[in-house]
């Protein structure tokens, strides 16, 4: 369960994101839709402790993320969260295989690596350097890296943004399969309405924003 209470983040006067209280329930997959620049990545980054909220509390299964030091947040994310970043955050000069093993969670078994790479359709690129892959292939490495540690939370920021609909659908199926087995929480941002229908809940980001009237009370 991921709980948000009085959460806000202000970058500057134009970018002040104030959120309604909201709880992401266990066992449900959520899809978040919203215009560019509305704050979707900011929300995912606050939940995963990549950035710090200015106000409020974010709790994951009772653990108060917002009370943790940056070091504790990073350790928490490494252990519990499979985060597919909007900009992948892969090591370009390293191979696909090394990118999967970089998490320092212990080396994954060859079989495990092969299975995950095969499931996203890039097993043949295992020994290739990431910088020589296409955008869609890099995206699939990022997905594989998030899934291989069997995280209890899967967070995807446009995880299908560089894939065509057919491959995007396969990735969503894969995420759902994981959601049903190992992950308790799955939250994905997408702009693709056609993929949104495969999630249990579709949230329009504007509905997460605190209404003007409430903010003034």
Ligand X SMILES: Nc1ncnc2c1ncn2[C@@H]1O[C@H](COP(=O)(O)OP(=O)(O)OP(=O)(O)O)[C@@H](O)[C@H]1O
| Contact string (CB under 6 A) for ligand X, positions 168-187, x = contact | --------------------
Is 49 a binding residue for ligand X by CB under 6 A? The answer is: no
Q: Determine the Cα–Cα distance for residues 181 and 151; give it in Å rounded to an integer.
A: 10
Beta-bridge mates of residue 57: 5
Q: How far is the CB of 159 from Mg ion (least distance, A)?
A: 12
Closest Cα partner for 214 from 3, 22, 8, 20? 20
Rounded to 5°, the CA angle 194-195-198 comes to 115
- Among all residues, whose Cβ is closest to Mg ion? 41
* 173-21-193-48 Cα dihedral, nearest 10 degrees: -50
Is 8 a binding residue for ligand X by CB under 6 A? The answer is: no
Q: How many residues bind ligand X (CB under 6 A)?
A: 11
| Contact string (CB under 6 A) for ligand X, positions 77-116, x = contact | ---------x------------------------------
Q: Measured on CA atoms in the order 170, 146, 36, 92, is the torsion positive or negative? A: negative
- Binding segment (CB under 6 A) for ligand X, from list 33-41, 92-100, 119-127, 142-150: 33-41
Chain positions contacting Mg ion, by CB under 5 A: 41, 86
């Amino acid at each position: 369960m991921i709980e948000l209470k009085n959460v806000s983040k202000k970058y500057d006067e134009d970018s002040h994101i104030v959120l309604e209280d909201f709880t992401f329930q266990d066992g449900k997959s959520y899809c978040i839709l919203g215009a560019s620049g509305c704050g979707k990545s900011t929300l995912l980054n606050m939940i995963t402790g990549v950035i710090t909220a200015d106000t409020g509390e974010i709790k994951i299964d009772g653990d108060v993320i917002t009370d943790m030091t940056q070091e504790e947040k990073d350790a928490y994310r490494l252990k519990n969260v499979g985060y597919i970043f909007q900009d992948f955050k892969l090591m370009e000069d390293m191979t696909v295989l090394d990118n999967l093993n970089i998490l320092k969670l212990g080396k994954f078994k060859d079989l495990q690596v092969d299975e995950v790479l095969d499931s996203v359709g890039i097993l043949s690129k295992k020994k290739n350097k990431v910088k020589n892959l296409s955008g869609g292939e890099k995206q699939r490495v990022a997905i594989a890296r998030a899934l291989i540690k069997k995280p209890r939370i899967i967070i995807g920021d446009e995880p299908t943004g560089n894939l065509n609909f057919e491959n995007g659908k396969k990735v969503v199926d894969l995420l759902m399969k994981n959601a049903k087995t190992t992950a308790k929480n799955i939250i994905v941002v997408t702009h693709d309405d056609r993929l949104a229908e495969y999630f249990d809940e579709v949230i329009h980001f504007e509905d997460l924003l605190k209404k003007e009237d409430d903010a003034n009370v």
